[in-house]
Amino acid sequence: MSIPPPPGPQGPYPAPGPYGPYGPQPYQQPWLPYGAQRPSVNGLAIAALVLGILCFVPALGLILGLVALRQIRRTGQRGRGMAVAGAILSSVGIALWALFFATGTASDAWDGFKEAAKDDMVLRVDKGKCFDTTTGSLEGIAYDVDEVPCSGEHDGEVFATVTVPGGAYPGDSRVTDLADDRCYELRDDYVMDAWALPEDVDVYYLTPTRESWRVGDREITCVLGNTDPKGTLTGSLRTDATTLDADQLAYLKSVAALDEVLLEEPEEYPDEDLPANADWARDMEGALDEQAAALREHAWPAGAKAPLKALAAELEASADDFGKAAASTDPDVFFDHYDNGYGFVDGSATIDAREALDLSTTPPAYDYDDGDGGEGGGLDV
């Protein structure tokens, strides 16, 4: 019987191979001495990569990338790949920016930006369209309006637009004064029949603000609205070539020429300034004769011939009275002929002629100060 040898010192363990006792082992990261820290990532490399990706300030991204590479070589920090990538992307960005400006794309992009901003800040409603404001008022500041059919209730109806000369913003007062002057001048082109304009309707306007001016807003929008802050309009007030027939237009054009002279009547009474009144009476004589001639020359429909002929005869008689007023040297005599001459204004012959032409037959409440601005107001947009 053999006795096994006593245990003795064991030989060295075999060198580890690629396989452990339980098969292939997973990849292990390089071993670091206990307590050692991994090198930090260079902050400039990170910044260079971010700027290179964004391509916002590519020159700065390129500079940061080059500086980061020098620091990494000196300190042993990590991030070399990011620094290289940031420098490359920034170089591409510089080339793109150069192409961007050289081809005028930058200008086009800026123009597009301004147009987009303008669309957001500028209220546009076309001539002949109606709208509601968010507040129901045509005074103050408006940030938005809603276009609605003119056939229903609405706050305002656009009758004209005015372009303000460019340059620096002229100031709120100047813009308002310009809107007041031009909108009242243009109203009669849209509402040719003053008799069809209700007494509670006046002129308002949408004007540029200093902020909208910066993005190219140069447009004043002239609006008709109710003088009652709580009131609205119903139906379109437009009476021009788009809504009138040829006979109605012919009549209203003859009226417009005479109305211009009526508005020029001197503020001083004849006993204060007889020569000025005499000059105006002479202008009235000429305007009345011209209107009478226009009415006699036009080929009116059968139902309107007699009323228009009667009106022409009344205008001729009125012209004769104004001629005598112009020749008078005594204020009292002037007044006598003046009163006789004014008899045609809104008289029965005028109403009969209007009825025959299917025009409004309700005389308006005249306010000759409207040419210098009425009671309307405006919205800053």
Instruction: Report pLDDT digits (tens) over 216-230.
Output: 888 999 999 999 988
d(CA 278, CA 297): 29
User: Is residue 380, in this structure, part of any structural domain at all?
Assistant: no
pLDDT band for position 48 (50/70/90)? Answer: low
pLDDT at 331 over 80: yes
pLDDT at 7 over 60: no
Q: Are residues 143 and 226 located together in one domain of the fold?
A: yes
Q: Are residues 140 and 191 located together in one domain of the fold?
A: yes
150-205: per-residue pLDDT in tens? Answer: 999 999 999 999 999 888 999 999 999 999 999 999 999 999 999 999 999 999 99
d(CA 247, CA 40): 92
DSSP codes, 225-282: EESSTT--EES---BSTTTS-HHHHHHHHHHHHHHHHHTT--SS-TTT-HHHHHHHHH
Point out the domain boundary residue: 182, 207, 234.
234
User: Is residue 291, in this structure, part of any structural domain at all?
Assistant: yes
Q: Are residues 65 and 160 located together in one domain of the fold?
A: no
User: Is residue 240, in this structure, part of any structural domain at all?
Assistant: no
Which residues, in sequence order, are bridge partners of residue 207? 380
Phi, psi of 120 (to 5 degrees): -75, -30
d(CA 279, CA 290): 17
Q: Are residues 326 and 251 located together in one domain of the fold?
A: yes
Q: What pLDDT was estimated at residue 96?
A: 66
Phi, psi of 159 (to 5 degrees): -120, -10
* Number of independent structural domains in the chain: 3
Q: Are residues 130 and 229 located together in one domain of the fold?
A: yes
User: Is residue 256, in this structure, part of any structural domain at all?
Assistant: yes
Residue span of the structural domain in which 191 resides? 124-234
Q: What pLDDT was estimated at residue 27?
A: 38
Cα dihedral 42/45/50/54 (nearest 10) = 170
Q: Are residues 275 and 228 located together in one domain of the fold?
A: no
What does pTM read for this prediction? 0.64
d(CA 136, CA 154): 9
Average pLDDT over residues 352-373: 78
pLDDT at 306 over 90: yes
